[in-house]
Amino acid sequence: MRHVQRNAQGRARRARAALAAVLTWAGLLAGVTGCTTDGPGTRGAPGAPRAAEDTIAIAPDDGSKGVRPGEELSVRVSSGRLESVRVVKYQDAQETPVPGRISGDGRRWDPADGRLAPAARYTVDAVAVDGRGHRSARSTAFTTQVPGERFIAYVTPEHRSLVGTGMIVSLRFNREIADRAAVERAVRVTARPAVEIRAHWFGGDRLDFRPERYWRPGTEVTVDLRLRDVEGAPGVYGMQDKAVAFTVGRSQVSLVDAERHTMEVRRDGELLGTVPITAGTPRNPTYNGKMVVTDLYEVTRMNGDTVGFGGEYDIPDVPHAMRLTESGTFLHGNYWASPDAFGETNVSHGCVGLRDEKGGSSQTPAGWFFDRTLVGDVVEVVNSDDKRVAADNGLGGWNMAWQEWKAGSARS
């Protein structure tokens, strides 16, 4: 299955030492997960469960922009009870948990401080349990109002994060940038050990940076934002002056062969293991090309209604999900397909599936891979019937030749 994120839970392993989940702008402002495709799809896997209409209500609405500080932030359920709620504020590349409490009857979560911060992104991850003990998940995101005629950059990855060797620095601006050269000059990305790093614009609101090849493990990268008072558009000035730093961990690159139905996982060049997989069907194939893990979810919801598959599937508890593209490609655990499919045939709507158990298990292939994955790790797909993934779909810039990448600079 290939998915657009909506109603997902468990921005997984955030508490895991030195790992900060990377949140790409489009992925945050998407909603319920569901398979994506360029055309009509086939029926979902036999036996795939369908969830009832959402019972988790979150305010402000998912994808809202320019939310005023006085608006209410709340999470409610109409039945059952809330099991967990995690709200995180992202402001100036800093990640801050928002404290709050679940009511005694389990029906509502409210923040300790009801006032939202300006010029910030918020993510809300909630898990609810119904009367039969079944869990469902929802994840939403919104941004708050930027004061006056100002622009800000939302930075990927987060400050002080530990990432995989394929991480690309990505800046998303809240306004269209007219003077791209001026803004690009105000952003400096450096590395230790030193390596040439070049910029590439995708439209007027996204600026990415990468080296020619994957980062060397152990590299320390600093992103200096000197945007304060830089005129990005007529009468619109930057408001940030800060640095973001992250460290590149070990190198892990996984090769998915859609024809052979296998995934080879290599750590620092050595084969760590070969895992049987199922990829997209001929009618809904998986993208070819190099993709980068941008989010990890212990459990997420995937709903075909959101991406043109109608009611073909609605799975509230997909385990061990790893986002690969903004358009919705995931590598995830699959407990509903026949165990015989893995390593033998392609049955998904475009994602890469690994065998798993309902509720997730570290002993399954999906759990094994999830526990060994960092945000920033590379997953490359070959021998699929689909086209190569676009360079601006997630952190897909590694699919662009170096000369073409450099030509996308406003300073070249």
Catalytic residue selected from 3, 200, 261, 332: 332
185-238 pLDDT per residue, tens: 999 999 999 999 999 999 999 999 999 999 999 999 999 999 988 999 998 989
Instruction: State what percent of residues in the chain have pLDDT above 70.
Output: 84
Give the mean pLDDT of 370-374.
98
Q: Enumerate the domain spans of the chain.
A: 252-399
Give the mean pLDDT of 172-181.
96
Fold (CATH) for 252-399? L,D-transpeptidase catalytic domain-like (2.40.440)
Told to judge if 332 belongs to the known catalytic residues of this protein, a careful annotator would answer yes
Give the mean pLDDT of 278-289.
96
Told to judge if 351 belongs to the known catalytic residues of this protein, a careful annotator would answer yes
34-52 pLDDT per residue, tens: 344 333 233 233 333 334 3
Question: Does position 73 have pLDDT exceeding 80, yes or no?
Answer: yes
Is pTM beyond 0.75? Reply is no
| Contact partners, residue 323, CB within 8 Å, separation at least 6 | 3, 5, 27, 293, 294, 295, 296, 297, 329, 330, 394
Give the mean pLDDT of 83-100.
90
Classify burial at 35, counting beta carbons within 10 Å of its beta carbon; exposed 0-12, middle 13-18, buried 19 or more.
buried
User: Among 351, 325, 323, 347, which Cα is nearest to 337's?
Assistant: 347
Q: Which of 15-24, 77-86, 297-306 has the lowest mean pLDDT?
A: 15-24
Q: Which of 39-43, 110-114, 354-358 has the lowest mean pLDDT?
A: 39-43
Give the mean pLDDT of 244-261.
98
